[in-house]
Amino acid sequence: MSGAGPSLRERAIRLLALREHSRSELVRKLAAHGSADEIDATLARLGELGLQSDERFARAWIRSKAARFGLARLRHELARRGLARDVIEDALALEADASEIDRARAVWAGKFGKTPQDRSEWAKQARFLQGRGFSADTITRLLKENPDESA
């Protein structure tokens, strides 16, 4: 590579200084700046040094999003970012503190706060929660609750 700009390593470290990145995100962002072999070697070295970790990325990402999304959405978004299934499942087990129903209840309360009065309202609330990645079972349980029971 010619010495015109920052090296691959410098570029990767700058990206990681801004926030955690998955390995596949870094591969994509560095693709225009080096060959696949150069990028692979650079990222392997950063991994050895502990500067890049898919596990750390997954845990940080879940911590930042878990209060707003259900397990299905968290799982999908991490897979979309190129993480291995076992890395995703380990991170979810470690970081998704509150139960799925507790997180769904908090998301629901922030948006609606009152039980649906008719089928149309029930469907609207269910669609919202489904879009946030909560399971059908969790949605049904939540929307059938009495408001007094959630306290």
Model confidence pLDDT, tens digit, residues 40-65: 999 999 999 999 999 999 999 999 99
Amino acid at 131: G
Flag whether pLDDT at 150 surpasses 70. Answer: no
Fold classified for 100-150: Arc Repressor Mutant, subunit A (1.10.10)
CA angle 137, 93, 129 (to 5 degrees): 30
pTM of the shown model:
0.79
The architecture that CATH gives domain 1-52 is Orthogonal Bundle (1.10)
Flag whether pLDDT at 1 surpasses 70. Answer: no
- What's the confidence (pLDDT) of residue 5? 78
- What's the confidence (pLDDT) of residue 146? 59
- What does the alpha-carbon distance between residue 44 and residue 123 come to, in Å, rounded to a whole number? 48
What's the mean pLDDT in 1-28?
A: 89
Amino acid at 11: R
What's the mean pLDDT in 102-123?
A: 92
Residue in 90, 3, 8 with CA at minimum distance from that of residue 51:
8
- What does the alpha-carbon distance between residue 78 and residue 54 come to, in Å, rounded to a whole number? 10
First to last CA, the chain: 62
H/E stretch holding 42? helix 36-48
Distance of CA 141 to the CA centre of its chain: 24
Rg (CA), the chain: 20
